[in-house]
Chains A and B, each alone.
Chain A
């Protein structure tokens, strides 16, 4: 009887360890995938030059188009639908949310130090740019790992000449 109990316990612990290992490995992959998606979205958003202002020689990011572009790149890279809900092949199960999308434009003095204590985001920009913070909940397969939610940050500057 004690051998049977030992066997069952061993099996349970063995499988729990593997479940934990699997989920942690997946989480590492997922975090990097989210980070790349945010980086690509921030970079693409920061390149949306305001053409009207460019004619007057002012380099500035068009906020409207920057927002649209950031949403598009996030959606495609994380495989979400128009309302940010995950599609069947998405690596996520719950929709991510854009927490911060700040556009730093020519109305500030560069170099400009952006500081957002809420998300512990501090960065110095030398050109107009975009700061993007997206909250990504990790889809756990097993309950062994506690709930994981990341605030993935990405910053990009307008690149020219």
Chain B
């Protein structure tokens, strides 16, 4: 009887201890996948062949990430350049020396909601995990 009482009292703590590491792990892996994707897109986009990141590359990237469990529609891509020119136009690639900027954002998708069990407030719906980077374009006309 006493043991049952203890279990009921600490049930939420037990649940949190047992399951929250899994959620944290998913979050870490998602962050790592976003970093890897940013890295890959920058490597391709800033190479001598392209000098831009266009919609086709973004669509392919969404497809790649969706294979790892991301919702493709919720991925946000921010593409820019140090010179202020648009960096997603295949007709006007960034010339060599200009930095190509990329940021990918994704919502937390209630991964932190399990922290409510121990009284922590999870990040709001507008909060995002993100990865970003800037690489110098190598495109020479």
Contact = CB atoms under 8 A, between A and B. Distances in A.
| Size class of the A contact interface (CB-based, 8 Å) | 20 to 34
A77 B28 contact: no
Interface SS of chain A: helix, strand, loop or mixed?
A: helix
Contact of B132 (A25, A29, A72, A79): A79
A130 to B, nearest CB: 13
A43 B32 CA distance: 23
Nearest to B136: A44
A18 interface: yes
| Size class of the B contact interface (CB-based, 8 Å) | 20 to 34
Interface string A89-116: 1000000000000000000000000000
A29 B17 CA distance: 24
A11 B13 CA distance: 10
Interface stretch (A32-40, A52-60, A132-140): A32-40
Contacts of B17: 11, 14-15
B99 to A, nearest CB: 7
Interface in B82-141: 82, 96-97, 99, 101, 130, 132-136
Contacts of B35: 29, 32-33
A29 B134 contact: no
Contact of A40 (B6, B96, B134): B134
Given A43-B136, A47-B136, A72-B99, 9 more contacts: A21-B21, A22-B28, A29-B28, A32-B35, A37-B133, A40-B136, A47-B96, A73-B136, A79-B132
29 contacts: A4-B6, A11-B13, A15-B17, A18-B21, A21-B21, A22-B21, A22-B24, A22-B25, A25-B25, A25-B28, A25-B32, A26-B28, A29-B28, A29-B31, A29-B32, A33-B35, A37-B133, A40-B133, A40-B135, A40-B136, A43-B136, A47-B96, A72-B82, A72-B99, A73-B136, A76-B101, A77-B132, A79-B132, A89-B130
